[in-house]
């Protein structure tokens, strides 16, 4: 039995997309189930939103399934 699951475990939202997005796409095309986990909520990544608001935005983005 083969487990075709890949986990990208990163510090910040968007890190996986910028650092290993191509690899995750390739694995997905090979039949792997892709999971991305981040340690922080991304609450410091803006100058225009409060930390709570941007963390909520990033959390909702992460929930989207493509």
- Give the number of domains in the chain: 1
- Residue 11 CA to residue 13 CA, distance in Å, equals 7
Counts for the chain of helices (H) and strands (E), in that order: 2, 2
Name the pTM for this structure. Answer: 0.78
Tens digit of pLDDT for each residue in 26-63?
Answer: 999 999 999 999 999 989 888 899 999 999 998 888 88
How many Cβ atoms are within 10 Å of 24's Cβ, its own excluded? 19
> 3-class DSSP state for residue 64?
coil
The yes-or-no verdict on residue 25 having pLDDT over 90 is yes
pLDDT the model gives residue 37: 93
Distances (CA, A) of 15 to 1, 27, 31, 33, 37: 31, 17, 22, 18, 10
Q: Provide the residue range defining the domain that includes 41.
A: 5-63
The yes-or-no verdict on residue 1 having pLDDT over 70 is no
């Amino acid at each position: 039995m083969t487990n075709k699951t890949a986990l990208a475990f990163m510090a910040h939202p968007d890190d996986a997309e910028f650092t290993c997005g191509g690899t995750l796409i390739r694995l997905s095309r090979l039949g792997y189930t892709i999971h991305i986990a981040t340690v922080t909520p991304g609450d410091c990544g803006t100058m225009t939103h409060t930390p709570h608001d941007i963390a909520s935005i990033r959390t909702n983005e992460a929930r989207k399934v493509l």
